[in-house]
Amino acid sequence: MLRKGKLQLLCMILILIPVYNFSLFRAQAEPAQQDNVTPFLQDLFEDRTRLLMDQDKRHIEKHYLPKDKHSNYAYLHEINRAEYIQEWAKQRKIKLLNAESSIRIARAQVLGDTAKVSLVQSLKLSYEYIDSYPGQHDFGIGTRHGITLRKKDKRWYVEREWYSDPFEENPKKIEKTDSFFTPHKDPVTPERVVHKYNRARAVDYANKYAGTTWGAGNRQRYNQKYLDYNSKGGDCTNFASQVIGDAKEGGGLPMKSGWHYLYGRGGSQAWVQTDAFKHFLIRSGYGKIIGQGSFSDIIQSVNKRQQDLDQPQLQPGDLIAYVLKGDVDHFSVVVGFDQSGYPLVNSHTADRYRVPFDLGWDKTTKYLLIHIQD
């Protein structure tokens, strides 16, 4: 098992179910664009994006069948995620300014009144702080979707959908805090000096291979040298290992002590599994925990270390582990800070580019700040 929790199940469903269903429809399938599937999907995702900004349910009601249990569940899911991100913004004293969406259809096949679609969405969101720190910050989210559509009265509706949604949290469980990060006096950028760990190159790697999200390089695709573990429970740890360990483009930390990748075959347990990776980082001396606890605890830890420059600081190229019920569930890579000093991260599953590190999590999540030793 690579990652624990609901994302593992979602990713398995996302990958396996569309493949199975497509095989059933292949024999008599028609190209999707011949039956208005593509225009429907474009409208669907544009309307969902508008929903994120203003929570007006009327944007998406027309795309679902309220009397169908599965379709209504998919509809309520979208309502919940819009409530989550708006509540998160409210608690962080942030105003969402704009949202832009694009989709890339990987497979779409139609048989009669049913269509099976696999696609990826690239979402760009922009925000600013309400009371201070003038300036706009942009970040990206990328998600993979498996969708079943049903035609009724000569138009398409969403019947079922599966995807690993980073906003699938209870908006009432977002941790509230009166404190906030201290802005950095100078821009925090990794020095382009070659140490054991090439921090600047690690950040470049994280940005280049962030995946399906807006802002990512490499035509929004993963590094093809490595297997994609999304279908096996999640690719977040595999990606973090690549960032710090890729010898040609990444941080260049030497593989050792069970942490390695065999090209063409895959990664070791410590390379791809969350808890094993965390244990390796600490035991090997590659990483050191410099902060842990709730969102409020992380604020205090980061701010305190800024006042004591003799202690290791959280820097671009460091890692954040996300802990649920005592187990590490996710890894992300710190790639920078916004105007207020908020740590921004990249990750896989779901793909993120310069996202505020706690977006997509709630007060049940604990965090580990892991500083990679230069």
Q: What is the mean predicted confidence (pLDDT) over 244-249? A: 98
Q: What is the pLDDT of residue 184?
A: 81
Provide φ and ψ at 370, rounded to 5°.
-115, 110
370-172-91 Cα angle (round to 5): 65
The tens digit of pLDDT for each residue in 181-237 reads 999 876 677 766 667 899 999 999 999 999 999 999 999 999 999 999 999 999 999
Beta strands in 60-136 (DSSP E): 94-111, 114-129
The tens digit of pLDDT for each residue in 126-139 reads 999 998 888 899 99
Q: What is the pLDDT of residue 208?
A: 98
Q: Is the pLDDT of residue 3 over 70?
A: no
Q: What is the pLDDT of residue 132?
A: 83
Domain ranges of the chain: 6-173, 199-372
Q: Is the pLDDT of residue 17 over 80?
A: no
Q: What is the pLDDT of residue 259?
A: 98
- For 6-173, CATH number out of 3.10.450.50, 3.40.50.150, 1.10.10.410, 1.20.58.2240 equals 3.10.450.50
Q: What is the pLDDT of residue 16?
A: 37
Q: Is 228 left (phi over 0), alpha (psi -120 to 50) or beta?
A: beta
pTM above 0.75, yes or no: yes
The tens digit of pLDDT for each residue in 72-91 reads 999 999 999 999 999 999 99
The tens digit of pLDDT for each residue in 307-355 reads 887 899 999 999 999 999 999 999 999 999 999 999 999 999 999 999 9
CA dihedral 362, 90, 355, 196 (to 10 degrees): -70
Determine the Cα–Cα distance for residues 96 and 249; give it in Å rounded to an integer. Answer: 34
Determine the Cα–Cα distance for residues 75 and 161; give it in Å rounded to an integer. Answer: 10
Q: Is the pLDDT of residue 8 over 80?
A: no
CA distances for 60 relative to 155, 350, 357, angstroms:
14, 23, 28
Q: Is the pLDDT of residue 62 over 70?
A: yes
Q: What is the pLDDT of residue 309?
A: 79
Q: What is the mean predicted confidence (pLDDT) over 116-123? A: 97
Residue 82 amino acid letter: A
The tens digit of pLDDT for each residue in 261-294 reads 999 899 999 999 999 999 999 999 999 999 999 9
Strand-pair partners of 115: 110, 149
* Cβ(196)–Cβ(332) below 8 Å: no
Q: What is the pLDDT of residue 102?
A: 97
Q: What is the pLDDT of residue 374?
A: 85
Q: How far apart are the first and last CA of the chain?
A: 30
Counting every residue written for the chain, the total comes to 374
The token pair that represents 299 in the structure block? 């604020």
Sorting pLDDT into bands at 50, 70 and 90, what band is 33? low
Sorting pLDDT into bands at 50, 70 and 90, what band is 18? very low
Sorting pLDDT into bands at 50, 70 and 90, what band is 14? very low
DSSP 87: H
The token pair that represents 331 in the structure block? 């890894």
Average pLDDT, the chain: 90
Q: What is the pLDDT of residue 310?
A: 84
* Cβ(350)–Cβ(166) below 8 Å: yes
CA dihedral 285, 291, 293, 296 (to 10 degrees): -160
Q: Is the pLDDT of residue 28 over 90?
A: no
Strand-pair partners of 103: 121
Sorting pLDDT into bands at 50, 70 and 90, what band is 24? very low
The token pair that represents 55 in the structure block? 């929570």
Q: Determine which of 28-37, 101-110, 350-359 has the lowest per-residue pLDDT on average.
A: 28-37
